[in-house]
Amino acid sequence: MKNLAFPDNFLWGGAIAANQIEGAWNIDGKGISVADIATYKPNLDVKDYVAHMAVTCEGVMAAISDPSDKNYPKRRGIDFYHRYKEDLALFAEMGFKTLRLSIAWTRLFPTGEELTPNPEGVEFYKNVFKEMKRLAIEPIVTLSHYEMPVALSIKYNGWVKRSVIDDFVRFSTVCFDQFGAYVKYWLTFNEIDSIYRHPFTTAGIIPDKCKDGQLEQDIYQALHHQFVASALVTKIAREKIADCKIGCMLTKLTTYPLTCKPEDVELALQKTLDNYFYADVQIKGEYPKLTLANLKQKGIDIMFEEGDKQLLKQNTVDFLSFSYYMSKAESTNPDADRIPGNTIIGVKNPYLKSTEWGWQIDPKGLKISLIELYDRYNIPMMIVENGIGAVDKLEGGTVHDHYRIEYFKEHFKQMKEAIDEGVELIAYTSWAPIDLVSASTSQMSKRYGFIYVDQDDEGNGTLARYKKESFYWYKKVIETNGKAI
């Protein structure tokens, strides 16, 4: 078979999110986001992935009145706010063609309801984009990455309220007006599917604000509002930025039946369809009929306003982006071993190894995902998150992270195979090119980077940056456009 490998203009790079790197949570006019009140959870257990993240009104109010960053590591990040030039220079040294990053809504609109943006916030991102342009790094920007204003959460229960669409449209419009000259690729919502497991992080929903028994109904209504907002801003971006490309973003939850028992296969199929639903709406422009039937059966009735259906249909996205960390199995056996993972829990697959955090490593699953998704949607794709969280040891100014190199190497081989078989993959951004604060546990010690950051879980350290062995390896991969895997 002819080996086509990576296309010439393939976008190699890395992905980060504002709330996990910037720090500077309360300076230069920034407001408090839902991420700024996420607490340190080093021993996150499987069961915590099922509970709707134990967020309560009382807890939220206590957190926002606490001025310290002691229990809230995302308030500290890795001080990218002040060190972005140094960090971008390191990415450029690795040869990055692209960097995926997000814009903190609260840096532009502290409570979400201001009518004009905070000029200091606008200036910060403009400076970041100017520097990226100077370094020839193409930005891929996520508008919403788990960091909505907490004020909208308290006042409206987040996205449950339809008027939050207007606030998001105002924020996005400012982003297009101010940064459109620098940014061509935009993603609307990070892992929009995670709303079901993490309604507060994803959509600002505080469960005890929902009427009794209404949480699930509210989650789907909030999701509908996000779909509408996504379509609206897609439309606006196209009016404002001539050559822009808009993508949706999915957590690819590749699911295998644990056995070939038909009931296991049926369950795995159901989970797979549940996962597709979120991309279907944004790519095909309508809710899948089976999903609607399923929701009806559960007694969930999503309120569509006049014009919603048409809006979704007319403003579908240009490309599909997704995160891929792991796969999971499913089984109808209630005693099957459960494993944690990104945004979900699943059943342990006996054929796979796990990371120190229990996420199962499955490079072949990445190829399977690429094939499944491309066959279903037939549009260009980007892998915008993939990587391994590990405990790294700094020794003599570097980290000998052969396990990380191994992880990427095996995943890149599978990407290459998928491309050879016809998949249109246009970008790959690792999560994350530099150590940052973990989304789920708020640990620094769950390290993903090619660059080590000297900071521990309590915030002690010099914040100095060190190149790991994987830094040089990834540089070579990019230099040779994937030949030196």
431 scored as a contact of ligand BG6 (CB under 6 A) = yes
Tell me the C-alpha distance between 188 and 201, whole Å.
16
Least distance in angstroms from the C-beta of 446 to ligand BG6: 5
Which one among 33, 202, 254, 323 touches ligand BG6, defined by CB under 6 A? 323
Q: Among 27-35, 49-57, 365-373, 435-443, which window interacts with ligand BG6 (CB under 6 A)? A: 435-443
Candidates 47-55, 116-124, 434-442, 472-480; binding stretch for ligand BG6 (CB under 6 A)? 434-442
389, 433, 449, 482: residue in contact with ligand BG6 (rule CB under 6 A): 389
The structure tokens listed for 20 are 């996990």
Please state, in angstroms and rounded to a whole number, the distance separating the CA atoms of residues 355 and 349: 13
Residue 479 among the catalytic residues: no
Cα–Cα distance between 3 and 38 in angstroms, integer? Answer: 46
As a whole number of Å, the end-to-end CA separation of the chain is 19
Binding track over 341-380 against ligand BG6, x by CB under 6 A: -xx-------------------------------------
Residue 14 or 117: the one with the smaller Cβ distance to ligand BG6 is 14
- Taking the C-alpha atoms of residue 23 and residue 190, their distance in angstroms, rounded to an integer, is 20
Cβ proximity to ligand BG6, 382 vs 439, nearer residue: 439
In the 3-class helix/strand/coil scheme, how is 298-356 assigned residue by residue? CCCCCCCCCCHHHHHHHCCCCEEEEECCCEEEECCCCCCCEEECCCCEEECCCCCEECC
Tell the smallest beta-carbon distance from residue 133 to ligand BG6 (Å).
25
Distance of CA 32 to the CA centre of its chain: 20
DSSP code of 477? Answer: H
Q: Does 404 bind ligand BG6 (CB under 6 A)?
A: no
What distance in Å separates the CA atoms of residue 387 and residue 448, rounded to the nearest whole number?
6
Q: Please identify, using beta-carbon distances, which residue of 144 and 441 lies nearer to ligand BG6.
A: 441
Q: How many residues bind ligand BG6 (CB under 6 A)?
A: 15
Compare residues 77 and 121 and give the one whose CB is closer to ligand BG6. 77
Sign of CA dihedral 300, 306, 310, 312: negative
Taking Cα atoms as reference points, which of 83, 76, 170, 169 lies closest to residue 128? Answer: 83
User: Per residue, what are the HEC states of 166-185?
Assistant: HHHHHHHHHHHHHHCCCCCE
Which residues, in sequence order, are bridge partners of residue 453?
465
Q: Under the criterion CB under 6 A, does residue 275 sit at the interface with ligand BG6? A: no
Q: Which is nearer to ligand BG6, 121 or 389 (CB)?
A: 389
Q: Which is nearer to ligand BG6, 33 or 441 (CB)?
A: 441
Interface with ligand BG6, residue 324, by CB under 6 A: no
Smallest distance from the beta carbon of 292 to ligand BG6, in angstroms? Answer: 27
* 438: contact with ligand BG6 by CB under 6 A: yes
- Nearest distance from residue 308's CB to ligand BG6, in Å? 27
Angle at 322 between CA 317 and CA 323, to 5 degrees: 160
33 forms bridges with which residues in the sheet?
149
Tokens standing for residue 200: 């507060």
* 191 catalytic per annotation: yes
Residues 6+ apart with CB under 8 A from 296: none
Among 282, 331, 440, 455, the residue binding ligand BG6 under the rule CB under 6 A is 440
Residue 201 CB, nearest distance to ligand BG6 (Å)? 9
Of 22, 191, 330, 417, the active-site residue reads 191
Q: Which of residues 176-205 bind ligand BG6 (CB under 6 A)?
A: 190-191
- Residues contributing to the site for ligand BG6 (CB under 6 A): 17, 20, 190-191, 323, 342-343, 385, 389, 431, 438-441, 446
| Active site (catalytic) residues | 191, 385
